[in-house]
Amino acid sequence: MTSGETPFLPRTAQLAGPAASWLWTQLRRTSAFLLRPWAILRAYDPADLWPDFVAGLTVTVIALPQALAYALISELPPETGLYAAIVGAVVGGLWGSSHQLATGPTNTTSLLILATLLVVAVPGTPHYVAAAALLAVMVGVLRLGMGLARLGVLVNFVSDSVIVGFTAGAGLLILVNQARNLLRLDIPSVPGLGETLGLIAAGLGTTHLASAALSAAVIVALVGLRRLNRRLPGPLIAMIGAAGAVWALGLDQQGVRVVGELPRQFPPFAVPPVLDLNLIGGLSTGALAIAAIGLVEALSITRSLAARTGQRLDSNQEFVGQGLANIACGLFSGYPVCGSFTRSAVNVEAGARSAVAGVFSGLLALAVVLLLAPLAAYIPLAALAGVVAVSAAGLIDWREMARIWRSHRGDRLIMLATLLATLLLPLQFAVLTGILMSLAFYLLQTSTPRVRTVLPDDRFLHLEHQPHKPGCPQLGLVEIQGDLYFGAAHHVDEFLRQDMDQHPEQRFLLLRLNGVQHLDISGIHALEGIVRLYRQRGGDVFLTRYREPVWAVMESSGFLEYLGRDRCLPADGDALSRLFYQVLDPAVCIYECPVRAFKECQNLPKQLLPVDVRLPTIPAEAPDQFVEPHQVWEARHGGAAPLIVDVRERREFVQGHIPEALCLPLPGLLAEAEPIPRDRPVVFVCRSGRRAARAAAHFRGRGFPQVRALRGGMLAWEAAHLLEAVDV
């Protein structure tokens, strides 16, 4: 290997440049997804073989009756459910990410399948079965594509409220739809809830009593067995008992419908009509809904399992596994599958240690089909309907629904809207409605980050939102808790502008960006607009608590040059101290403001004016109100000396002042305790120029045209080397 070559990267790829290197990286990642079974088997510990076998056997006992029952929900032949359970378990286990996720038919997916297929085909026909297989392939392609494109993160944006609302609505729909099998009513399957209820009401007079009694007995047995011991395979026991009753009493001769003998064969390979574009178009919306809801359910299950087992998951690998499982089910006479929470929980409790347990469950189910399929001839459809009814009732999680109802208003709205949409709209559109609402709620939340004013707490240790406390009349403190991106920039800008309108006297703003993780060019533009407004007001904007990524964007976009790097301040306490001593106007603090908002205010001598005289706000640039130090010096030595009025306190005055200046502290001056001539130039002086500028603005407003303020005050006078020793 020559120097500079990357290990394990072909020389041709290195020579072809970055594009070939990127392509090679993508191919390696894709091959890692598809070669997942090799990784599982290579790392497999033989000590896990027996625990995985026992767990697979336990899951098989649960999966077989559920597969028959869930096929009944979709109005597909019973063997279709068995084929899906066999193929889905094997492929989902080998190509998935979770060690314990059990893949196969589920009740909610089966209901979605029914709603999708009823639009394009008639139940009981070969076209209906072929459409189910094609639907499985379409769902698989969607899930596989999302996994290979590494879009697993998108599922995180679907709220749990969508799942809770949808499963509750699906449970109610399944209960209603299974009434015809529970009571053996001769009514057709229709997609609408209202129409189904009408048909049931009209057909109640034709109830088959033996079937109804058998259904009731199965439901009672299931509930009783669950209360006795939840680990007992209730559906299998109930179905064996019901089949025994049919065989012993000859109920099939009395009108009780049975499953009939199942074919004893491997899942037959058959290519679905993938070239039928009309059929694909009719199934597309349902395929998208099934793919989305199945992925959300699968990831929810795997995360809950990982929380118990400590396994590290790869959501994209799980997408690939779910996609390949559905494609395989479509090619081997099955229908769409998904992860099952019930069977996955049983898998964990039974001691499954790896994905091989799922493979065992599929293979054992195949063995049962090959050996015992003829015994299914006595399984009554009423018993399957009873199993479905109990399972559907379990979908309605009243406790979780009540919990969501008591929590955030947005979650409550999403759950309720999804539930109503599930009951009233075509099911595939109901799922998409809930997902879109979830995404819209997320966008609404992120586009309206919490922006609020803050003040120091009573101990001056932290800044908190305290709307009941009066704030500083000069400095506004605002924190942004959320990203400042294109969706949120307008909301932040509106809040800051409204805050400016509510506090017109505040000329300075300290923005805390501790909650901003992401800043884009729209956020930069919003900040620039706010800075421009405050500078037009005669003030400025300062930033603190910014994060490194935010700093990088401000620097690369040129915003720091516009704002000024010295406006970016350190942590809160130091920032406030610097602003208090270097930026805020002490004239306002002493003579106007009764508030002690900051720690630095506590020992400040307040000398509120005895008369109701508000000091006017000084514009940013008012050249006619200021005079430079050298101009005053030249005027004093040129024969046209102005009257120098020092507005500082006496203790400040004696420490150093301009010769021949009068000491008239600002409170008495504004109360007009001392007269100011109108026909002579007057220059007001203070330490830094702020108090003097306000005094000048006050008297100019009262008709004194020749008053000025010394720009920069005594600090500028001393900096110009004009300070002289004087006798007081």
Helix/strand/coil percent split, the chain, to 5: 60, 5, 30
* Active-site hit among 329, 338, 472, 686: 686
Q: Which of 341, 349, 326 is nearest to 89 (CA)?
A: 326
Cβ count near 559 (within 10 Å): 19
Q: Where are the alpha helices (DSSP H) in 571-712?
A: 572-582, 586-587, 629-636, 650-653, 666-670, 690-701
Cβ count near 287 (within 10 Å): 27
Output the six-digit token pair for 50.
């027996």
Output the six-digit token pair for 187.
């009514």
Q: Which of 336, 337, 357 is nearest to 348 (CA)?
A: 357
Round to the nearest angstrom and report the end-to-end CA distance of the chain. Answer: 89
Is 686 assigned a catalytic role? yes
Planar angle of CA 633, 636, 641, nearest 5 degrees: 135
CA 355/CA 241 separation, integer angstroms? 32
Query: Strands, DSSP E only, in 611-655?
Result: 626-627, 643-646
CA 96/CA 37 separation, integer angstroms? 9
Q: Which residues contact 712 (CB under 8 A, 6 or more apart)?
A: 629, 688, 689, 719
CA 461/CA 92 separation, integer angstroms? 55
**Cα distances (angstroms) measured from residue 117 to each of 122, 433, 554, 559:** 8, 19, 54, 57
Output the six-digit token pair for 357.
């347990």
Q: Which residues contact 249 (CB under 8 A, 6 or more apart)?
A: none
Q: Is 682 helix (H, G, I), strand (E, B) or coil?
A: strand
CA 387/CA 405 separation, integer angstroms? 29
Contact 297, 143 (CB under 8 A): no
| Torsion of Cα atoms, 668 then 673 then 678 then 680, to 10° | -70
Cβ count near 209 (within 10 Å): 11
Q: Which of 482, 471, 547 is nearest to 509 (CA)?
A: 471
DSSP string for 347-407: HHHTT--STHHHHHHHHHHHHHHHHHGGGGGG-BHHHHHHHHHHHHHHH--HHHHHHHHHS
**Active-site amino acid positions:** 686
